[in-house]
Amino acid sequence: MKLEVWKFGGASLADGRAIQRAAQQIAAHRGPLVVVASALAGVTDLLLRGTPQAAVAFRTKHLQATRAVLGPGAPLRALTREIDTLTREYEDLCAAVTVLGYLDPRVQDAMVSRGERVSAQLLTAAVTRLKRRARLVDALDVVCTDDVHGGATPRLDDTRARARKVIGPVLASGAIALVPGYIGRAEDGSLTTLGRGGSDLTATVLARSLGARTVALWKDVPGILTADPRVVADARLIPQLHHREAAEVAHYGAKVLHPRALIPIAGTTISLHVRSFLNPALPGTEVSARQAITGYPVKALAMLPGQAVVTVAGKGMVGVHGMAARTFTAVDAEGLSVSTIFQASSESSIGFTIPESQAERAVRRLRQAFRHELEQGLIDGVTARPHMSVLAVVGEGMVGTPGISARVFAALESGGINVVAIAQGSSERNISLVVSSAQAPEAARRVHAAFQLSKIGGGQTTAKRHTDVVLLGFGRVGRALSDQIATAADRDVRIVGLLDRSGYVFDSKGLARARLLRLARDKDAGALLASLGGHKASAVEALSVMSSHAVSRPVIVDVTSDETGSLLQSAISRGFDVVLANKKPLAGSLETYDRLITVPAQSGRRVRYEATVGAGLPIIDTFRKLDDTGDRVLRIDGCVSGTLMFVLSEVSAGRPFSAAVREAMDRGYAEPDPRDDLSGRDAARKGLILARMLGYRGEAPKPDDLVPKPYAGLSLDTFLARLPELDAAWLTRVAALARKGRVLRYVVSATPRKVSAGLVEVAVSSPMGSASGTRNLVTFHSRRYSREPLVISGPGAGADVTAAGILNDIRSLGTS
Ligand code: ADP
Ligand code: ASP
Ligand code: MG
């Protein structure tokens, strides 16, 4: 079996219980294993304080954990003695530092090293107690480094030789090797540390040295996320990253990985896994040489806080060669290393970022190096601007993908965030921006959102944005709409999902026309989406799946005739805009109406509902235009039911009522049960929607019902069979009216204070009286249109015109 190297981070070794869990996980592993231990959570910070109180806290914390893990016995006594010794040594070092008055980096390394030393011992004892053979290995015998105290780099060749010699036999004997992380030994024999987070590096160095297959870093996060979850709450797990991308994320300060941890394994086949200590069954993030999935150029954001921008500026620098070289030679001579470099194209300044704490040294050194230039006025000055952060946008596929910086800047501008400097790494794997630390978290959130990094498939930079439609209901209108979308000349509207009561079908790249046609055919035959290659789910579940994908300008289109109010609300809260052809949610309770119309507007979500009244006729649109231009609509009257217009105009022309109703059904004008139209309920809903648009807040109107009471409860068949019983009365009525030059129309009337729906006698010669067929006709009385109303008239029913009205709404969302 191939060797694995595991590292347990501080958070995974927080206390006795966590250590016990780690030990169990280690003991349960089959196959050769090297375990690298970090100090317990918070211990390194504690030790860096160098105070007597820190010594006490160090001792207490470890004694507590040890007692919790080991229970009484020899191992507990041995470790207690060791903790006491390490504490005493620490106190002595602190005292020496106080006497000397300054902290030598060597001494500091010696002080903090005990965090890892004791945790590794404790973990070894805990594993041994679980009857698994485990051997503690001294990191100083294995990890050979250079002599940069506080940030040493392992020397690979020497470390490899030592590791094989020291750890090789342990593994060969079948025992698990446990090694303290973070520490090593320089050539002069002194103890070194590898920089904060250095246990990650210990793990990868050992993996390389021993030819391991994988390295697992067990952490308190599910893996490497698209951003630091403490800053960007909806940061998402990245399943796979290329070594180079992860290196970039780490370099730019994502604490999740030591900045140099990937160096030892870059170019090897060793894969690194950042995994969840709390949920070991999850795969976490794989970092490997596998070429990252293409098509998603932007992978992650990293943020390096606590930086200062140091600038060397002056007109005299223009065109003078060697300025950059001298700048960085000076910084290097001071032993400092910069994180980003930028130069304005005018060449009148060179700048870089450096940890705040080192800015003063850098400035001093640079002023010295440019003494002459400063004296002669060739350089205006060397300055440092503190409280800055570097925000890096990282991704392998960014090479040659246009539009990325534009998107970044648009996002920052929308938040009023000032970019102090920008640098594009020559690798084009990252764009780094310098922003003030105060604005950095907001900057990270804005850029994260702009690339939809919280979504599956996020990180794309499609220059042209389209609108992604999810259809709620897939009946005649839904199909007409999908046809119109599929045959439209441009491709800026796509259908990505369908929902019915059984489940959903979804493809974030858009459902192909052929697929939609097939679904339509099968649905006609009575099948449900869940059985047509879709997923079984409730509508709310389906929406939550869909909204977890990176869809663009999502719109949910309601072409059902159900009570969908709460479902639409939940779509709105998930970022959908809404287009309705369904009247019910808008003609129900005022509360639901407000939640759909008033509330979303406050959060920037938009709801359109042109097709609820007059199908494709621009009725609501006209109201908006009048209203927007300062007119005041006082009253809207309308014949808004195609079926009722048809039936009444036929009857007025002498046709029997029953025959007219039958024909309206045969032609597909009427609802499946024509009583839904004849009752006036549907027209009343439209009237209410119009009235609410004018500001009406009262009750729904009680419509005149064209179906006499005794007929309302009959089965459809019986009703249709008995329909001719009504013919005679209608004939008499229209004949009497005809003599007066009048006809019957079904009219809704809406004002801000009143709404009604019922039969009205109108003059044959009036616009309403002369209309026929399924024509809808709506008149607006307004301040401007006071003497003669504004009339909108045209076919007000039919799948095609309704779909056209919906498509218009969808497009208006895309452009506004
Ligand atoms: P360890 O316990 O192994 O030392 P760290 O505490 O060093 O682990 O790293 C994990 C922490 O890094 C997380 O708790 C998280 O707050 C932070 N972090 C910053 N950026 C990221 C990121 N992109 N993905 C995951 N975690 C991140
Ligand atoms: N304990 C060290 C630190 O806190 C090293 C590590 O945890 O990797 O930086
Ligand atoms: Mg760490």
What contacts 270, CB < 8 A, 6 or more positions away? 204, 207, 208, 212, 213, 214, 215, 288
- CB burial of 663-675 (b: ≥16 within 10 Å; e: otherwise) equals ebbeeebbbeebb
- Ligand 2: atom nearest CA of 195 is 9
The answer to whether 199 touches 38, Cβ cutoff 8 Å, is yes
Q: How far is CA 355 from the centre of its chain?
A: 31
Model pLDDT, residue 344: 60
Model pLDDT, residue 426: 53
Is there an atom of ligand 1 within 6 Å of 448 CB?
A: no
Span from the CA of 674 to the centroid of ligand 2 (angstroms): 75
Is there an atom of ligand 1 within 6 Å of 219 CB?
A: yes
- Pair type for strands 134-136 and 176-180: parallel
- Ligand 1: atom nearest CA of 227 is 23
- Ligand 2: atom nearest CA of 9 is 7
- Ligand 1: atom nearest CA of 230 is 16
CA separation, residue 626 to residues 690, 783, 785, 814 (Å): 14, 10, 10, 22
Residue 154 identity (one-letter amino acid): P
| Strands in 537-632 per DSSP E | 555-558, 577-580, 607-608
Ligand number nearest CA of 219 is 1
Residue with tokens 């919280």: 454
* CB neighbour class for 170 (10 Å; exposed up to 12, middle 13-18, buried from 19): buried
For ligand 1, atom 3, the nearest C-alpha belongs to: 9
- Pair type for strands 555-558 and 577-580: parallel
What's the CA gap between 766 and 285, in Å, rounded? 73
- Ligand 1: atom nearest CA of 217 is 3
CA separation, residue 572 to residues 272, 299, 445, 593 (Å): 40, 27, 21, 13
Ligand number nearest CA of 201 is 2
Name the packing angle between helices 52-70 and 114-129 (round to 10°).
Answer: 10
Ligand number nearest CA of 278 is 1
What's the CA gap between 474 and 500, in Å, rounded? 7
The answer to whether 50 touches 97, Cβ cutoff 8 Å, is yes
- Ligand 1: atom nearest CA of 223 is 25
Span from the CA of 376 to the centroid of ligand 2 (angstroms): 48
* CB neighbour class for 621 (10 Å; exposed up to 12, middle 13-18, buried from 19): middle
Q: Which two tokens stand for residue 22?
A: 């780690």
Span from the CA of 38 to the centroid of ligand 2 (angstroms): 6
Cβ of 255: how many Cβ atoms within 10 Å? 15
pLDDT tens-digit map of 721-748: 999 999 999 999 999 999 999 999 999 9
What's the CA gap between 217 and 36, in Å, rounded? 9
The answer to whether 689 touches 587, Cβ cutoff 8 Å, is yes
Q: Which two tokens stand for residue 208?
A: 């390389």
Ligand number nearest CA of 236 is 1
The answer to whether 711 touches 674, Cβ cutoff 8 Å, is no
The answer to whether 31 touches 201, Cβ cutoff 8 Å, is no
For ligand 1, atom 26, the nearest C-alpha belongs to: 256
The answer to whether 298 touches 391, Cβ cutoff 8 Å, is no
For ligand 1, atom 9, the nearest C-alpha belongs to: 256
Q: Name the active-site residue from 165, 455, 686, 709.
A: 686
Is there an atom of ligand 1 within 6 Å of 220 CB?
A: yes
Span from the CA of 197 to the centroid of ligand 3 (angstroms): 4
Residue with tokens 């020291």: 166
Is there an atom of ligand 1 within 6 Å of 10 CB?
A: yes
Span from the CA of 390 to the centroid of ligand 3 (angstroms): 20
What's the CA gap between 689 and 637, in Å, rounded? 12
Span from the CA of 154 to the centroid of ligand 3 (angstroms): 17
- Ligand 1: atom nearest CA of 303 is 20
Q: How many CA atoms lie within 13 A of 756 on its CB side?
A: 9
What contacts 286, CB < 8 A, 6 or more positions away? 239, 240, 241, 271, 272, 273
Is there an atom of ligand 1 within 6 Å of 256 CB?
A: yes
Span from the CA of 112 to the centroid of ligand 2 (angstroms): 9
Mutate which of 200, 221, 226, 453 to test ligand 1's pocket (most atoms within 8 Å of Cβ)? 221
Ligand number nearest CA of 195 is 2
| Residue 702 falls in the annotated catalytic set | no
Model pLDDT, residue 671: 80
What contacts 76, CB < 8 A, 6 or more positions away? 66, 67, 70
Span from the CA of 194 to the centroid of ligand 2 (angstroms): 9
What's the CA gap between 696 and 120, in Å, rounded? 73
Q: How far is CA 517 from the centre of its chain?
A: 32
Span from the CA of 11 to the centroid of ligand 2 (angstroms): 10
Ligand number nearest CA of 200 is 2
Model pLDDT, residue 36: 98
DSSP 293: P
Is there an atom of ligand 1 within 6 Å of 228 CB?
A: yes
Of the candidates 320, 317, 219, the residue with the CA atom closest to the CA atom of residue 261: 219
- Ligand 2: atom nearest CA of 182 is 5
Q: What is the mean pLDDT of each run of 10 residues along the chain (816 residues)?
A: 94 93 96 97 95 96 96 94 97 89 90 97 97 97 96 96 97 97 97 96 98 96 92 89 88 84 92 95 91 72 92 77 84 84 70 92 94 88 93 79 82 87 72 90 90 79 74 90 84 90 90 89 87 90 86 90 92 90 95 89 85 91 92 95 94 94 89 90 96 96 94 94 95 94 96 96 91 91 92 86 92 76
Of the candidates 382, 379, 387, 390, the residue with the CA atom closest to the CA atom of residue 421: 390
Span from the CA of 790 to the centroid of ligand 3 (angstroms): 71
Mutate which of 6, 38, 108, 215 to test ligand 2's pocket (most atoms within 8 Å of Cβ)? 38
Q: Based on DSSP, count helices (H) and strands (E) in the chain, helices before strands.
A: 29, 29
CA separation, residue 118 to residues 63, 87, 121, 476 (Å): 10, 10, 5, 72
Q: Which two tokens stand for residue 342?
A: 């930028």
Mutate which of 44, 62, 111, 201 to test ligand 2's pocket (most atoms within 8 Å of Cβ)? 44
What's the CA gap between 492 and 266, in Å, rounded? 42
Span from the CA of 156 to the centroid of ligand 2 (angstroms): 21
For ligand 1, atom 12, the nearest C-alpha belongs to: 256
Ligand number nearest CA of 302 is 1
For ligand 2, atom 1, the nearest C-alpha belongs to: 39
Cβ of 74: how many Cβ atoms within 10 Å? 9
- Ligand 1: atom nearest CA of 8 is 3
| Strands in 437-486 per DSSP E | 467-472
What's the CA gap between 2 and 213, in Å, rounded? 6
Mutate which of 58, 199, 218 to test ligand 2's pocket (most atoms within 8 Å of Cβ)? 199
- Give this prediction's pTM: 0.71
Q: Which two tokens stand for residue 671?
A: 């609802």
3-state secondary structure of 778: strand
For ligand 1, atom 11, the nearest C-alpha belongs to: 256
Cβ of 540: how many Cβ atoms within 10 Å? 12
CA separation, residue 248 to residues 245, 272, 354 (Å): 5, 15, 17
pLDDT tens-digit map of 500-552: 888 999 998 889 888 988 998 898 888 888 888 899 999 989 988 888 887 77
Is there an atom of ligand 1 within 6 Å of 45 CB?
A: no
Span from the CA of 258 to the centroid of ligand 1 (angstroms): 10
Model pLDDT, residue 371: 93
Mutate which of 12, 228, 304 to test ligand 1's pocket (most atoms within 8 Å of Cβ)? 228
* CB neighbour class for 419 (10 Å; exposed up to 12, middle 13-18, buried from 19): middle
For ligand 2, atom 8, the nearest C-alpha belongs to: 197
Pocket of ligand 2 (CB under 6 A): 9-10, 38-39, 44, 115, 181-182, 196-200
- Ligand 1: atom nearest CA of 258 is 7
Of the candidates 299, 309, 629, the residue with the CA atom closest to the CA atom of residue 453: 299
What's the CA gap between 452 and 433, in Å, rounded? 19
Span from the CA of 262 to the centroid of ligand 3 (angstroms): 14
The C-alpha R_g of the chain, in whole angstroms, comes to 37
3-state secondary structure of 702: coil
For ligand 1, atom 4, the nearest C-alpha belongs to: 9
Determine what percent of the chain falls in helix, strand and coil, rounding each to the nearest 5: 45, 20, 35
